[in-house]
């Protein structure tokens, strides 16, 4: 079945450092890919998405490119801030059953001033 694998955390960075959180997926068909962010005590919020190969999703300085050839959707940000500290989830929506979402295990990011 479909699945998502993302790098384990926690990831600890200093403010203004470059961020990469790796995400790879296994899927049949043509899934849509998402990054969600969860701040402490809150539900998940959509950060960005890409619905087809080579699409780049971007929001709040974060970017991720849907790479079908490497089955990857890595999250990047050029300069992180303390306020980016949160848990980040990579997710996949099946291409043939739009109701099925699969989430990665989450990566906790700690940004120090």
Give Cα separations from 22 to 62, 89, 90, 99 (angstroms): 13, 10, 9, 24
User: Measured between alpha carbons, how far is 52 from 37 in angstroms, rounded to an integer?
Assistant: 21
User: Each residue of 42-52: b (16+ CB within 10 Å) or e?
Assistant: eebeebbbbee
Using the minimum distance from each CB to another protein, give the nearer residue, 38 or 71: 38
Q: Contacting another protein (CB under 8 A), which of 22, 24, 51, 72?
A: 51
Residue 29 binds to another protein (criterion: CB under 8 A): no
Q: Contacting another protein (CB under 8 A), which of 46, 54, 59, 61?
A: 46
Contact call for residues 53 and 93 (beta carbons, < 8 A): no
Minimum gap (Å) between residue 42 Cβ and another protein: 6
Minimum gap (Å) between residue 98 Cβ and another protein: 3
Residue 105 binds to another protein (criterion: CB under 8 A): yes
Minimum gap (Å) between residue 47 Cβ and another protein: 10
What does residue 3 show for φ and ψ, rounded to 5 degrees? -160, 165
Residue 101 binds to another protein (criterion: CB under 8 A): yes
Q: Which two tokens stand for residue 86?
A: 């949160």
Binding site for another protein (CB under 8 A): 4, 32, 34, 36, 41-46, 49, 51, 89, 91, 98-106
């Amino acid at each position: 079945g479909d699945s998502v694998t993302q790098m384990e955390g926690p990831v600890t960075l200093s403010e203004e450092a470059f961020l990469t959180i790796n995400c790879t997926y296994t899927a049949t068909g043509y899934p849509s890919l998402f990054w969600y962010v969860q701040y402490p005590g809150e539900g998940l919020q959509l950060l960005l998405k890409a619905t087809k190969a080579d699409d780049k999703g971007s929001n709040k300085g974060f970017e991720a490119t849907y790479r079908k050839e490497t089955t990857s959707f890595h999250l990047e940000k050029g300069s992180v801030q303390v306020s980016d500290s949160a848990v980040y989830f990579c997710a996949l929506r099946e291409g043939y059953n739009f109701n099925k979402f699969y989430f990665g295990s989450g990566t906790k990011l700690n940004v120090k001033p």
